[in-house]
Structure 1
């Protein structure tokens, strides 16, 4: 089992998206125009980290002035803090290889994208997500907050370079996994020991209910779509729901394991259930405020009649819905310990 986990982790960390990057016509100052740049974008990486090598390729054709680099796909500015693999899974209904992107060095769309100062912004975003995930898993983020500067630098460099062994050397000290289903029920004695003990974070298998950090990206496509490759491209980010919704697992009599389907029914009952109360019947924790997004509008009560799940992708894989959810969480999570799930939902025209 340990060998299988190790192999899965290495495949996730070694995963990449072939990119063909074109310089936007407005930024071209040389004739003939430069050829596109071909590279591999790490699935767990971020587009701004590719800027140095991309800029070097196009340097002879760029106009003078201050660079404000950003990327576009079919007219959509790409969010720099979303991992490359997630962007690819979400925006390419039919995987496009190579993935053709346009890079801009001027005219940053600040009304659509948050400011990005290159690597520093990406590092800040990553560390912030790691703190959030640590809080969800252990109940506090002190293990990350108390990291030495040297360990923070080493951890970030391991993520940037795709160095799994270097990452594990630092991340194991955070005690964030693996997620386990055994020992999920805390006894009165262990609870008293926890309350009387130190502020050290608990690992997922220490007896507390298991909580998995999940980020869901819900994209609407035509309800009558027969082939997913015919889905219309995403025209703006308002048509994509970006949801942080931790999944809590408690011991339930008669259940051997939680399936991916059950977890997603609980996380997104408005899309997976024909009955608004179906998820709560499956798991009483579904009605808990921790697993419910307060931003849901009153209109969502009728959403189940208008939507149907078309496709689920995690790390580029269309998974069997009967697979154990904790296997997915343990083996397909990103380095910030979030599980990123892309959901394609068929919607009726209003």
Structure 2
């Protein structure tokens, strides 16, 4: 038994290091309107960390194009096939969601003028990204523990160290700080405490979900529609606007049940997204009301994270067929244990990001 436990721990450690070491090869082109020198500068090749964010790459990108840029200062933004990219979504998630056929390198266009404020929320560089990350961490902590005290009570030095570990891909440094938040690992009965344990808990520690309350896993979905008659997912039409993507936050509640070995990823998805994963409307309604399918409503959520699911996509996918599910760039088997996925493939803000492609029927 001890050997099996050690082997499982080793696999988890390896999975975490692969997630943190994962990167998307990028080829960044300067938009034609921003070119002020001839010949135009060559594209910039770099690796975008999967758990990182596009604005964090701006200093090295700007340095590469500096001799060709127009004078003045403006907010930098990125585009893929005409779609402005949301700066607060991790690079790996953007790639999994927008590239049905993984494009390597991923060809992006960078703009140094004309920020599309009607589409993208304001971004003031790294400070905005850090704020968004910390807000997501607070939200995830609230889901897991019932409040966000552990994050709110972090010292300024710990907040800086935690953020720097994320920006530098330093998993060991991240663990040194994040373990103090007492947020994991997720277990079926791992967060249930006795009354005596609760009395011993200091006011500065995160509250327990309480006796009998299930473990709750923060999950963030990105649901994209593709053509109903699509034979190969690689031939999917590009995402033309963000209205065609549903952005959904839903925690998954796990209750220990006698006689059940584990919860599969497939069961978790059916419970969390019955409107997309169940072809039986009555079954979908039952799954949706059975728990684990409610939208997160924590008041600390940032404005960009509060985007509602696209009503048009929900309507179009009442009889949709799931074509593809990606987590950290991997197409997972639906029989894999959901808790393994949540513990080992989550992002540093403790959210499990899942990209879902569904076929949509034209109305």
TM-score higher than 0.5: yes
TM-superposed CA distance for 1:161, in Å, is 0.3
Cα gap change, 1:188 to 1:277, in 2 (>3 Å): farther
Question: Which residue does the alignment assign to 2:2?
Answer: 2
Give the superposed CA RMSD: 4.1
TM-superposed CA distance for 1:254, in Å, is 2.3
Query: Which secondary structure state, in structure 1, belongs to the residue aligned with residue 183 of structure 2?
Result: coil
8 Å Cα contact 2:225-2:245 kept in structure 1:
yes
8 Å Cα contact 2:26-2:48 kept in structure 1:
yes
Q: Which whole-Å CA distance do the structure 1 matches of 2:4 and 2:148 have between them?
A: 29
TM-superposed CA distance for 1:163, in Å, is 0.3
TM-superposed CA distance for 1:253, in Å, is 2.8
Q: Which whole-Å CA distance do the structure 2 matches of 1:245 and 1:338 have between them?
A: 10
Cα gap change, 1:3 to 1:132, in 2 (>3 Å): farther
Q: Which runs of 5+ in 1 are unaligned?
A: none
User: Are residues 1:304 and 2:317 paired?
Assistant: yes
Cα gap change, 1:105 to 1:52, in 2 (>3 Å): same
8 Å Cα contact 2:221-2:354 kept in structure 1:
yes
TM-superposed CA distance for 1:158, in Å, is 0.3
Question: Which residue does the alignment assign to 1:290?
Answer: 295
8 Å Cα contact 1:279-1:286 kept in structure 2:
no
User: Are residues 1:156 and 2:163 paired?
Assistant: yes
8 Å Cα contact 1:76-1:234 kept in structure 2:
yes
Cα gap change, 1:300 to 1:21, in 2 (>3 Å): closer
CA displacement 1:281-300 (0-9 Å, x = unmatched): 56974377567999999999
CA displacement 1:126-175 (0-9 Å, x = unmatched): 00000000000011100000000000000000000000000000000000
TM-superposed CA distance for 1:255, in Å, is 1.4
Cα gap change, 1:93 to 1:204, in 2 (>3 Å): farther
TM-superposed CA distance for 1:188, in Å, is 7.3
Cα gap change, 1:156 to 1:287, in 2 (>3 Å): closer
Cα gap change, 1:178 to 1:342, in 2 (>3 Å): same
CA displacement 1:41-84 (0-9 Å, x = unmatched): 00000000000000000000000011220000000000000000
Cα gap change, 1:337 to 1:77, in 2 (>3 Å): same
Question: Which residue does the alignment assign to 2:33?
Answer: 26
Output the TM-score relative to the length of structure 2: 0.87
TM-superposed CA distance for 1:306, in Å, is 2.8
Q: Which runs of 5+ in 2 are unaligned?
A: 6-12, 307-314
